[in-house]
Amino acid sequence: MTPETTAPAEARTFEGLHEWALEAARAADQGLGRDTVVIDVGDVLSVTDLFVITSGANRRQVRAIVDDVEQMVAVAGGPRPLRVEGAERSEMVGGHLWILLDYAGFVVHVFDEESRAHYDLERLWSDRPRIPFDGG
């Protein structure tokens, strides 16, 4: 179960969102996440500022990454996701597994490796800057 928390006011600023997105990336990367990246999409998308993209080798690893991200962001005092999409279908309906954690200001995409290669968000957003983080 993910700890309850109320995000501090600074989490609603770009700097606060930036820190929570980096915390999510670190959580994914320290766990089972592979090739975790943070991409700044704020100048071209109105719905969010940052994407965190990572993948796991199988369904269990994807679920563990999602759980780790939710827990570590909350423990660090960050917000809970507004919604989680794809979790109910984590049994790989149609052969693809993609779980999205929507924190409004940033979105965490957790794929299995095949789905990540198929959707290739890094290529789609290749013209956007990547944000370095310790561990990435």
CATH number of the domain to which 116 belongs: 3.30.460.10
Average pLDDT, the chain: 85
Q: Is residue 130 part of a domain?
A: no
Check: CB of residue 78 under 8 Å from CB of residue 7.
Answer: yes
Q: Is residue 114 pLDDT above 50, yes or no?
A: yes
pTM listed for this prediction? 0.85
In terms of residue numbers, what domain contains 90?
A: 9-124
74 domain-assigned: yes
Confidence of residue 5 (pLDDT cuts 50, 70, 90): very low
Q: Is residue 43, in this structure, part of any structural domain at all?
A: yes
Residue 80 lies in a domain: yes
In a domain, 113, yes or no: yes
- Does some domain include residue 4? no
Q: What is the mean pLDDT of residues 67-82?
A: 93
Two tokens, residue 44? 């071209």
Residue 136, in any domain of the structure: no
d(CA 126, CA 94): 27
Check whether 8 has a pLDDT greater than 50: no
Q: DSSP strand E in the chain: where?
A: 34-40, 50-56, 83-85, 98-102, 106-112
Query: Strand, coil or helix: what is 112?
Result: strand
In what helix (H) or strand (E) does residue 68 lie, and over which residues does it extend? helix 59-75
In a domain, 129, yes or no: no
Please state the domain count of the chain: 1
